[in-house]
Amino acid sequence: MLGNHFRPWGQLAWIFNKIQNKKWSLLGCLSTEERCLASFHLIKAYDHLGNLFFLQINDPPSKFTKITSEILEKRRRDFISLGGKTSEIEEHELFENYNKLVDSIEQFIKKSTGNIIMDISSFPKRFFFPIVRLLMRSSEIENLIITYTVPEKYSQNDLAEDPQTWLPLPLFGPQKFPEPEVKVALVGVGFIAFGLPELLRNEYSKASVKLFFPFPPGPPTYQRTWEFVRQIEKYFPLQSSNQIIRVGALDVSTTFSHICNETSDGTKNAIFAPYGPKPISLAMCVYASLTNSPVYYTQPKTYNPDYCTGIKYINGIPEIYGYSLRLGGRNFYFI
């Protein structure tokens, strides 16, 4: 019944029960967030760890620099106490030229077991988008799972500051020329609509704008997400309630199906603005990678070191979700 649209995802522990005896190469991001090591912990507990590669992404200097460094130092100690080595952490700058990232990922793929788990939980979008694209593109990878850990809570303060101007995310710039008319602009609804109305107004106001609203957001998040919609509404009046599409905040597969639906299976040109929960952004990333669609973002310059805290648990099991993009060489996401 599921036909070609079966895209296995669920708790990582559940996925591991289905895929036995594999050693996985884990690609993660060492950050101030506690959840950045959750996947590492679980994979190790299941004794499925092949090798490790963590990126530590340094924000430009800010008022948070001191506290961020202190938390990162602690996180580094946690990483080592879990069995990681300092040599398995590579430092990158948030706004570095992206050729450095591409080189690092290509090296990682070469050294990997061919089974890769990438944990996107703590990666800035400027990094996780190009990495997922490079991994999807690689024919050397037999199995590819993306993981995401739900935090216990988000900070009540601003999560990020100082957005940069509208730019395509690395490797997601427009390619075709002349650019085909964009029919659909798909926006993930997040907490702060940094400059988004400006982009829609200036460049894409002929496009049909659809907002992917994570649902159910649950308090206190719902106030922020509706505020995001309100900010857009103020500059870019929404014409119909159909422009808001409720999607499960953790459901990459259904979000991907919605995208396919909105683009008539890739026949309508789309652009993406991936605000909001990372699993929804992941669906956009996968679709944009498959169709060479542009993805625009106002990358914040600074992240709040208290962005989120803790790890959410269900019945004593950490909420770590795994999304299978490729298993046994078979791609689950395609147009």
Partner 1 sequence: MDIRINPFHELYVTETIGPDRFVKLFSPFLVEQTLALFQPGNVILKGVQGSGKSMLLGLLKPEIRIAYAKANEDFPIKGEFSKFIGAGINLTMCGILDFGQRPIITEKTDEKEHLPIYFGDFFNYWIVADIINSIEKLSNELDGKIARELGIITDKTRFNEAAIALAADDCWFGYFEGIKDIPSLKQRLFERITSYRAFLNYNKEEIPSDIRQTKTSVGIPISITAQKFREHGIVPKDVNFYIRIDQFEQLGRLEGLSSNLGPLYKQVINKAIGRRDSRVSYRIGSRRYGWRDELRIYSTDSSLEESRDYKIIDLDELLRRQESSRGIFPAFADDVFSRRLMDFFPHEKFPIKIKNVFGSGLTPSNLAKKYAGTSPRRIIQIESSWPKPWVDFLNNLADNDPFCARLAEAWPRQLGKEKKEVIFKITQDRPFPWEKQYWKKERTYQALMQIAGRCGERMLWSGVDDIISLSGGNILAFISICQHIWDAWLRDMRGIEIQNYKMPEINPVTQAVGIYEASAHWYEKIAIEAGGNERKRFFEYIGTMFHKRMYEDSAMSNPGHNGFSLKESELSSDNEVRRFLDDAVDFGDLHDAPHTTKTKDKAKRKKWYLNPILSPYFRIPVIHTKEPMYVNVQDVRKWISDANATTEGLPVKSNTQSKKPSNEKQLILFPIKKNKD
Residue 125: C-alpha distances to residues 251, 255, 295, 298, 304 (Å): 18, 17, 11, 10, 15
Q: State yes or no: residue 104 binds partner 1 (CB under 8 A).
A: no
Binding-site member from 11, 58, 138, 164 for partner 1 (CB under 8 A): 164
User: According to the binding rule CB under 8 A, does residue 201 interact with partner 1?
Assistant: yes
CB of 204 to partner 1, least distance (A): 8
Residue 195 makes contact with partner 1 by CB under 8 A: yes
CA 64, CA 46: separation in Å to the nearest integer? 36
Residue 205: CB minimum distance to partner 1, A: 4
Query: CB-wise, 17 or 69, nearer to partner 1?
Result: 69
Q: What is the DSSP letter of 174?
A: -
Judged by CB under 8 A, the residue of 4, 86, 87, 97 near partner 1 is: 97
Q: Report the residue from 168, 183, 254, 291 that binds partner 1 according to the rule CB under 8 A.
A: 168
Strand 330-331 relative to strand 320-327: parallel, antiparallel, unpaired? antiparallel
Of positions 88, 90, 142, 162, contacts partner 1 by CB under 8 A: 162
Quick check: 83 binds partner 1 (CB under 8 A)?
Answer: no
Among 28, 124, 151, 170, binds partner 1 (CB under 8 A): 170
- Contact between 55 and 127 (Cβ < 8 Å): yes
Find the binding residues for partner 1 in span 107-136 (CB under 8 A).
Answer: 134
List, as one string, the DSSP characters of 129-172. Answer: HHHHHHHHH-TT-SEEEEEEE--SEE-SS-SEEEE---EEPTT-
Q: How many helices, marked H, and strands, marked E, lie in the chain?
A: 9, 20
Interaction residues for partner 1, span 247-286 (CB under 8 A): none
* CA-to-CA dists, residue 66 to 58, 62, 70, 304, angstroms: 12, 8, 6, 12
- Between 90 and 161, whose beta carbon lies closer to partner 1? 161
- Least Å from the CB of residue 162 to partner 1: 5
Binding positions for partner 1, 53-72, rule CB under 8 A? 60-63, 65
Answer yes or no: are the C-beta atoms of 159 and 261 closer than 8 Å: no
Residue of 136, 138, 154, 135 whose CA lies nearest to 306: 154
Residues found near partner 1 in the complex (CB under 8 A) = 60-63, 65, 94-95, 97-99, 102, 134, 158, 161-168, 170-178, 192-195, 201-203, 205-206, 231, 234-235, 237, 292, 299, 301-302
